[in-house]
Amino acid sequence: MLNPSVRFSPSNIATLKKALRGQYPNIKSSHLDEAIAASFGFKSYAAMRPVLYQLGAYARLVVVVDHLLLLLRLEELGYSGIAPESLRRLVWSVEFPDDRYDDDVEQMVRMRRRPTAANAD
């Protein structure tokens, strides 16, 4: 199963949390922080926070948002009955403000992925 990958940044995490709060308003804010950290593979929000804020503006750490890890952490915190498929759809639908690549890097990636023309030498 594919999971979305996003740039690891405070604004992307805040956007994900806002989307989750909109869909699941009964979940406490601190529990969402813990579940989001778990979805990135961290043991806790406290473990994720220093890594997040040590990154500079130019660092490009891309992480995978694993909705099943998010769901498991929420279940550990006492939130049952969340459908995995609806959570997966929500995570995929989030419009993250920080792109994975800056403009220059994205151009290089696109050029690299462009197939060679059939009539090229």
pLDDT in tens, 52-87: 888 766 667 888 999 999 999 999 999 999 999 999
Q: Tokens at residue 29, please?
A: 């804010």
User: Is residue 99 very low, low, confident or very high in pLDDT (cuts 50, 70, 90)?
Assistant: confident
- The Cα-based distances of 1 to 35, 59, 66, 94 in angstroms read 19, 27, 10, 18
What's the whole-number mean pLDDT along residues 19-44?
A: 96
Range of weakest confidence among 24-38, 40-54, 81-95, 106-120: 106-120
Whether 116 shows a pLDDT value over 90: the answer reads no
Question: Which pLDDT does position 4 carry in this prediction?
Answer: 86
Per-position DSSP letters for 10-23, written without gaps between them? HHHHHHHHHHHHHH
Beta strands in the chain (DSSP E): 5-7, 62-64
Closest CA to 9 of 96, 105, 108, 103: 96
Confidence of residue 107 (pLDDT cuts 50, 70, 90): low
